[in-house]
Structure 1
């Protein structure tokens, strides 16, 4: 599961057991990325809360846009864990098993909408070259039709996935197999 020992949902006790039970109820499974953080139940609780707020709760960006940002950031970080999870989520949310293929094809051929192009370019630049972000990047986002609230949400999602990818990569979190990767989207 990961390079450090951490309680599993089966052997958890105390606060972490309650945190895992809440995740299980809301998501259908406790992902390895969350189990790897089982030694810090308070931090894990905050992590899950931020994830749910940014990715699931109603917000200014569509769920598809959020998942696209997650995939682009994870791919840029070469984080297979995040890229696999969120490409599957994108396919589930779009009800299209070829959603990732279409995203990659459109991104490569520059056929995605101006809005999507701006969102994904911003997420990639924030991931790969954050010091190079300028006000011009924000202007490009506005010019593509994004509001300041949508820009903030995109920034927070890209930043969250940079954090989460580093947790996964830094702790050697392994992707779940089969049914263990079934979640409520």
Structure 2
């Protein structure tokens, strides 16, 4: 599951058990990425809050499938297969079009998002996410101007920035601790965007 010790749902007590109860899915399943925090529950709480607020919040205006798509792309660029598999399934469910979902994944895995079934505005967001992921010190104000010219408002640019940044954090959590998908139910997410405190995975 991970390269460090973790505490199972059955073994968890106190604050950890309460957090597990908030994030669990069917059959008391807790995603391995969350379980990797079990020795320091406060960091799990911070991780879940960031994840929920960046990706699954009613205050976002960009489509959730697109934010998931950015997450899949960032995770691919970081060679994080755990997050690619989890979030591709989430994106696939939201897109609800198998042909389009497969085409999106193929373009991501070829690192050719210009060929993805996305409009010019959406492609521009993916280009920004790529640069921020692979060469963050090269970012310049012109990258923001390009997003504005593509049709994004500044709040939407912030959403893209935060989702990209979150996935870089999550990818490094997974890769640095050896988190794998053994025992996970792939593709579950806290889909109740209307309640930022509802972390239940369904």
Given that residues 32 and 181 in structure 2 are in contact (C-alpha distance below 8 angstroms), is that contact kept between their aligned partners in structure 1? yes
Q: Distance in 2 between matches of 1:61 and 1:34?
A: 26
Is the 1:29–1:181 Cα contact (8 Å) retained in structure 2? no
Moved over 6 A (4+): none
**Structure 2: distance between partners of 1:94 and 1:154:** 18
Q: Distance in 2 between matches of 1:71 and 1:140?
A: 22
* 2:138 counterpart of 1:132: yes
Structure 1 pair 110–32 and aligned structure 2 pair: CA distance change class (3 A): closer
Preserved contact between residue 114 and residue 123 of structure 2 (Cα < 8 Å): no
The offset of 1:9, in angstroms, is 1.1
Question: 1:98 & 1:172 partners in 2: Cα distance?
Answer: 32
Say whether residues 1:145 and 2:151 are aligned partners. yes
Gaps of 5+ in 1: none
| Structure 1 position 167, deviation (Å) | 0.3
User: For 1:90, what is the secondary structure of its paired residue?
Assistant: helix
> Is the counterpart of residue 95 in structure 1 residue 104 in structure 2?
no
Matched residue SS, 1:12: coil
Q: CA deviation at 1:46?
A: 1.3
Structure 2 Cα separation of the partners of residues 86 and 183 of structure 1: 9
Separation in 1, partners of 2:100, 2:177? 29
Q: String of CA shifts for 1:104-153, please: whole Å, max 9, x gaps.
A: 34825265211111111111110000011111110110011100000011
Q: Give the distance between the partners of 1:48 and 1:110, measured in 2 at CA.
A: 30
Structure 2 unaligned residues grouped into runs of 5+: 192-202
C-alpha separation between the residues in 1 aligned to 2:22 and 2:114?
A: 40
Structure 1 SS opposite 2:24:
helix
Contact 1:73 1:123 in 2 (8 A): yes
Q: TM-score, normalised by structure 2?
A: 0.84
The CA RMSD measured in Å over matched residues stands at: 2.0
Residue 93 of structure 1 deviates from its aligned partner by 1.0
Shift of 1:60: 2.1
Question: What SS class does the counterpart of residue 16 from structure 2 fall into?
Answer: helix
